[in-house]
Amino acid sequence: MRVELIAPEGLPVFGRGDDLASLIVDALAGERVALASADIVVVTAKALSKIEGRVVDLASVTPSGRALRLAELTEKDPRLVEVVLAESTEVIRARPGNLLVRHRNGWISGMAGVDRSNLGEEERVLLLPSNPDASAEALRARLFELSGADVGVVVSDSHGRPFRIGNTGVALGAAGICSVRRLEGQPDLFGRPLTGASVVPSADLLASAAILLAGESDEGRPVVVVRGLDLAKDATPAAELVRPAKGDLFALADRDYG
């Protein structure tokens, strides 16, 4: 078995309204690569957010009383905290240097994924795509229109891990792939049935693999094509990867702010 990862060079800094699919197809053509059915295109959430205009000017933000209190506690810009609160449904942890929240799309992350890096202007921040699964589906449809290839799409981001050092890739959105493979009842090598804990987060694993090429600083490679895996059967959105709040033992144990 062979799996190949391809990160086209030369993609521009994206701006609002750019035709991402066309830019991807052209960049791949420049490296004599054509999309093929069953390829999986992993694109960073930040790239999509720029194209979707998910940019906020902090100069336009007036912090609420709650944001002011949390900003003092976390030692962060009150305007930034206000933006985070608008993107969140719950504050999980608020301590100096740390604001952990439940994003309105369900996952738990630091600062709701609101980011200042690679924007070029100090007063602007970037929000995550409002509906990553829908963004993935739209990109998939446009790629098929341009290339004729029935590809999968993953919208990736990097999240910290509660029990390990460093960030890893997660899939915020997905289309055309099986995001979660549930193996309960299938036999292991010795014929024993696997338990309910045997779940493979395929979309997250793709996002993590793509980070090896995409990087997280100044690499300028926001798109990675994964070739050689067949994950199209029983396609499911990335929303299925979000653990229900009532079963999230980490969040329940860590909650220290109302």
In this prediction, residue 116 carries a pLDDT of 83
Closest of 205, 209, 237, 232 to residue 150, by C-alpha:
232
Instruction: Flag residues of the chain having pLDDT under 70.
Output: 120, 247-258
Q: Domain ends where: 125, 156, 171? A: 125
Tokens representing residue 94 in the block: 């608020």
In this prediction, residue 130 carries a pLDDT of 95
- 40 lies in the same domain as 82: no
- Report residue 188: phi and psi, to 5°: -85, -170
- 69 lies in the same domain as 151: no
Residue 137 Cα to chain centre, angstroms: 14
CATH number at residue 75: 3.90.1660.10
In this prediction, residue 246 carries a pLDDT of 73
In this prediction, residue 218 carries a pLDDT of 73
Tokens representing residue 150 in the block: 């029935």
CA 187 – CA 191 distance, rounded (Å): 5
In this prediction, residue 1 carries a pLDDT of 87
In this prediction, residue 252 carries a pLDDT of 57
- Counting the structural domains of the chain, the total is 2
In this prediction, residue 258 carries a pLDDT of 42
In this prediction, residue 250 carries a pLDDT of 59
CATH number at residue 166: 3.30.1330.100
- Under DSSP, the state recorded for 185 is T
Which residue range is the domain that position 226 belongs to? 4-52+129-250
